[in-house]
């Protein structure tokens, strides 16, 4: 069963929270800086009860994470509760100090907006609190998790946009799905293609400075 910080049923919410606390405790032996969370599932509808549940869960988890030196980051998704404007309003209204955002550029490219406005309008509400980024590409229709340049994201514009985030040394995490099936490239070929894409991305990122 997927864990959900928006679980309305109290017993299941506490179970999810306890499991996430154990995930945070891993930082004692395997240090990490950020834990990325979703506001429910991929089709989570906005609901005041779910919002209250998320607030209750995050209020406890932020305190627990602070002692472990871990920052909690909520990620933009294609669901109503993962919409960037909803997320920003949630943080502003609850005043959850210490909660940050993970900007998922692939999810932003799926927003129901004109294609040339998707990234800017998705990042805008989150920008000042973005603490990490997930990098992947798609063709604007489904969440394919392709290497950069394999979809239709305008990467020169995306890089320029990402550099407007105030976080110094913004962590960029490549988040891909392995291609499977009889006609899929081999793992070695997929890794080689990804390396090529990241070399191109890194060169563009450096030259944009």
CA distance 78 to 38: 10
Number of domains forming the structure of the chain: 1
Q: How many CA atoms lie within 13 A of 53 on its CB side?
A: 23
- Give me the residues paired with residue 70 across strands: none
Q: Is residue 4 part of a domain?
A: no
How high is the pLDDT of residue 3?
A: 83
Reported as a single tens digit per residue, the pLDDT across 24-82 is: 999 999 999 999 999 988 888 999 999 999 999 999 999 999 999 999 999 999 999 99
Would residue 3 count as lying in a domain? no
Residue 201 lies in a domain: yes
Q: Is residue 150 part of a domain?
A: yes
Give the SS3 label for residue 37.
Answer: strand
Is the model's pLDDT at 1 over the cut of 80? no
1 located within any domain? no
Does residue 37 belong to any structural domain of this protein? yes
- Report yes or no on 2 lying in a domain: no
Three-state secondary-structure class, residue 172: strand
The sheet that has 34-37: what strands, in order across it? 34-37, 71-75, 100-104, 130-135, 172-174
Residue 74 DSSP SS3: strand
Mean pLDDT across the chain: 95
CATH number at residue 48: 3.20.20.150
Please compute the mean of the pLDDT values over residues 161-165 and round it to a whole number.
Answer: 96
Q: Which domain holds residue 134?
A: 10-207
> What is the pLDDT, as a whole number, of residue 44?
85
Q: How confident is the model at residue 168 (pLDDT cuts 50, 70, 90)?
A: confident
Is residue 5, in this structure, part of any structural domain at all?
no
CB 9 within 8 Å of CB 16: no
- Token pair in block for residue 172: 């960029």
Over its C-alpha atoms, the chain yields an Rg (Å, rounded) of: 18
pLDDT tens per residue, range 112-145:
999 999 999 999 999 999 999 999 999 999 999 9
In this structure, the dihedral spanned by the alpha carbons of residues 104, 106, 112 and 117, taken in order and rounded to 10 degrees, is 90
């Amino acid at each position: 069963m997927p864990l959900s910080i928006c679980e309305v049923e109290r017993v299941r919410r506490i179970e999810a929270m306890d499991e996430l606390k154990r995930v945070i405790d891993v930082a004692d032996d395997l240090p990490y800086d950020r834990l990325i969370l979703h506001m429910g599932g991929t089709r989570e509808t906005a609901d005041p009860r779910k919002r209250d549940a998320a607030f209750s869960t995050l209020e406890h988890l932020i305190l627990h994470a602070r002692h472990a030196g871990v920052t909690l980051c909520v990620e933009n998704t294609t669901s109503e509760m993962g919409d960037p404007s909803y997320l920003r309003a949630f943080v502003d209204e609850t005043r959850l100090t210490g909660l940050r955002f993970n900007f998922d550029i692939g999810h932003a490219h799926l927003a129901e907006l004109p294609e040339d406005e998707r990234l800017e309008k998705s990042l805008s509400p989150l920008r000042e609190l973005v603490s990490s980024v997930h990098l992947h590409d798609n063709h604007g229709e489904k969440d394919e998790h392709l290497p950069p340049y394999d979809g239709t994201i305008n990467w020169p514009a995306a890089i320029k946009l990402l550099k407007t985030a105030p976080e110094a040394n913004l962590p960029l995490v490549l988040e891909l799905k392995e291609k499977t099936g009889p006609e899929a490239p081999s793992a070695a070929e997929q890794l080689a293609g990804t390396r090529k894409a990241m070399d191109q991305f890194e060169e563009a990122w450096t030259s944009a400075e």
